[in-house]
Chains A and B, each alone.
Chain A
Amino acid sequence: MRKLFRNEEGVSLLFEYILFSLICIGFFMIISVNADDIFMKNPNEVVMQDEMSDIGNMMSTMITDMYLILPENGEIATEYRIPAKAGREEYIIQASTDIYYEDQIIELISSSSGKEVRVTISGIATTILPIEGTALSSSTNHVISYDSRR
């Protein structure tokens, strides 16, 4: 028995085991506490930022393109398709009626997290046509329209 206590040959192995398991447990605890942030929220944020600015740019492009071919007497209406959700959240497209921006901005706002992306429409709103309206991403059809007689 004495011999067993004095024998220190296996100690480093035991310490290694204890240290490793402590480090692993610590790591696991940190990960499990932050898992939602790291694996869900951050990627979601990145995807939403990408997708919302993409759709904002799409709106801006379409409005500018329509502006180029507007009929003098007549109307033009175009349908567009957008995904109902960016990341995991629905969003609202808002042609800003804010005086401060003078209708030059298209805002995309997520209703649940409040994330907001703004895209400009290259100043065409100040020239002839004020742009207004809101669209919810999950509604069934989306239309941009212009009527010179209204």
Chain B
Amino acid sequence: MESMKKDTKAQWIALSGLVISLIIIGLAALANQAVIAGYHSSNAVLEFPKDNIRELNSHTRDSAMIIKDLSFEINSTSNETIPFIFEQLFDNYSTQMQALYAVHGETVDVSLVSINSTNGTFGINDIDLIFVNITYNDGRTHYISEPEIIEVR
């Protein structure tokens, strides 16, 4: 035991051990504070379905244009009127969107309110506005747009 007290070699190793352990304690304290920082703010960005709603809207706008063109095309080879074909195609689109969004656990409804034309006839250049009701619900966020006015000219 005597020899152990008098032996003063390896001071550097002992000292550096102390310093390193102090540094580790400091780092642990810092890391513990960082764990709780910024959870809610980043979670809000992730959870809020901004892009889903936006996509639903822009998709409906795009599809309304396509459906309009398509209904003229179909009209040239069939007896149905353009509003009737438009309605049918739009119903199709609506069912597809419902199925697509249901896969992600979201309830969606896209329904046609009216087709507006400048002079009451439905020629290729007369249909200018489409009124559509859009609702979106994912349990936390509820979005209603009644009506969404879509310009299709």
Contact = CB atoms under 8 A, between A and B. Distances in A.
A71 B140 contact: no
B40 A55 contact: yes
Interface stretch (A8-16, A21-29, A45-53, A124-132): A45-53
Contacts of A73: 145-149
A74 B146 contact: yes
Given A54-B38, A62-B48, A71 B43 contact: no
A77 to B, nearest CB: 5
Interface in A29-78: 46-47, 50-51, 54-55, 57-58, 61-62, 65-66, 68-69, 71-78
B144 A50 contact: no
Contacts of A80: 44, 140
B contacts with A: majority SS: mixed
A79 B141 CA distance: 6
Nearest to B144: A74
Contacts of B41: 54-55, 57-58, 61
Interface string B119-153: 00000000000000010000011111111110000
A31 to B, nearest CB: 18
B149 A72 contact: yes
Contacts of B142: 75-78
B143 A74 contact: yes
Q: Which of A69, A75, A78 has the most CB of B within 10 A?
A: A69
B33 A65 contact: no
Contacts of A75: 142-144
Given A46-B33, A50-B33, A69-B54, A57 B40 contact: yes
Interface in B39-72: 39-41, 43-45, 48, 50, 53-54, 57
B23 interface: no
A65 B50 contact: yes
A82 interface: yes
A69 B142 CA distance: 12
A50 B37 contact: yes
6 contacts: A58-B44, A61-B41, A66-B48, A69-B57, A75-B143, A79-B140
Interface of A: 46-47, 50-51, 54-55, 57-58, 61-62, 65-66, 68-69, 71-80, 82
